[in-house]
Amino acid sequence: MNMNTFKQEVLEGLQQKPKKLSSKYFYDAKGDKLFQQIMQLDEYYLPKSELAIIKKHKNTIAQRLKKHGKSIEILELGAGDGSKTVQLLEGFVNQKIHLKYLPFDISSNVLKINKQAVLKKYPEINITPIPGNYFKTYQNSAKEYQQRLVLFLGSNLGNYTLDESANFIHFLKQGMDKNDHLIIAFDLVKHPRKIIKAYDDSKGVTKQFNLNILERINNELGADFELSNFDHYPYYNPVTGVTYSYIISLEAQTVTFKTGEKFRFEKFEPIHTEISKKFFKQEILNLAHKSELTIENWFYDDEETYCFVLFKK
Ligand code: AVI
């Protein structure tokens, strides 16, 4: 990661009103571990819903794509540890589709785990993990197989605003041609209480995950955030379908960076850290329309709380 960009974004964010720190900086080694713990929490329902969809629909998905060619390259952006994707790959293996799997992720640690998980189950799979910024990796990847399937799972799109999502889908489209498909996982709107519990878990792991960004700034940029002087506060707005996460300053205090910058916090002043968007179906239709992609199919879990949308150019 470029330290200058990190520093510049942090300093700019702390000068804004309201103050802001981007959740993309949550994921250092400790942040990766905390996120893995979040994914194990009962309250954080998203991975369970995603896995239910994969188990239910993996064969149908593979059968559909088989019609477009018997060899496929699967590019997964923000692939993570691969624990769920390996199950999706099973559908393609069952259909005897010749496949190459290219997981992209910023974290090389997590990609090592991914490769081990895939090869443990399918030693014969052609897998090439590519660490780094997945925008650049995707832009530079030349198509080698008959058809390409692009995966963007984990409800990762939810961390973008709707405008950013439309731009991102448009960007993904540039790397696809007529024979290719895109699957995006969307967490759908549901009872607000269920959503807020997922972001305000009883063990406080999500709190640690948010406050870790302050620890990271202390360690990497030499700031003196006193973590016990800050709390975490998420709230869900059922109108926008967005969970907004904040870090709250519990006292009036000043934080100083070793390079001299000082930031004053009022008592109970918030720092905005993350949005986690839950989608209305109409918003997904609008996104497809905006990016000029066709929706081929919707795949749901039993309760229809989460879905995979299969897009075609
Ligand atoms: C990675 N992303 C989809 C997660 C989410 O649900 O917004 C990150 C997260 N933040 C708090 N808990 C999990």
Q: Residue 110: its pLDDT value, please?
A: 87
Question: Residue 288 pLDDT > 90, yes or no?
Answer: yes
Question: How far apart are the C-alpha atoms of 277 and 160, rounded to whole Å?
Answer: 8
Q: Residue 248: its pLDDT value, please?
A: 99
| pTM for this entry | 0.95
Percentage above 70 pLDDT, the chain: 100
- Asked if residue 232 lies in contact with residue 212, where contact means CB atoms within 8 angstroms, the answer is no
Mean pLDDT over each residue of the chain, to the nearest integer? 96
Write out the E strands in the chain.
19-20, 71-77, 98-105, 126-127, 130-131, 147-152, 181-187, 230-237, 242-249, 253-256, 262-265, 270-277, 294-300, 306-312
Tokens of 79: 């692939």
- Asked if residue 230 lies in contact with residue 248, where contact means CB atoms within 8 angstroms, the answer is yes
Index of the ligand 1 atom closest to the CA of residue 78 = 1
Dihedral over alpha carbons 5, 35, 253, 8 (to 10 degrees): 0
- Asked if residue 53 lies in contact with residue 62, where contact means CB atoms within 8 angstroms, the answer is no
Centroid of ligand 1 to alpha carbon of 42 (angstroms): 14
Under the banding of pLDDT at 50, 70 and 90, the label for residue 1 is low
Write out the E strands in 8-134.
19-20, 71-77, 98-105, 126-127, 130-131
Instruction: Establish whether residue 234 lines the binding site of ligand 1, counting it when its CB lies within 6 angstroms of any ligand atom.
Output: no
Instruction: Establish whether residue 274 lines the binding site of ligand 1, counting it when its CB lies within 6 angstroms of any ligand atom.
Output: yes
Centroid of ligand 1 to alpha carbon of 276 (angstroms): 6
- Asked if residue 32 lies in contact with residue 249, where contact means CB atoms within 8 angstroms, the answer is no
Closest by CA to 278, choosing from 185, 212, 204, 210, is: 185
Centroid of ligand 1 to alpha carbon of 206 (angstroms): 9
Instruction: Establish whether residue 276 lines the binding site of ligand 1, counting it when its CB lies within 6 angstroms of any ligand atom.
Output: yes
Question: Residue 197 pLDDT > 70, yes or no?
Answer: yes
Instruction: Establish whether residue 73 lines the binding site of ligand 1, counting it when its CB lies within 6 angstroms of any ligand atom.
Output: no
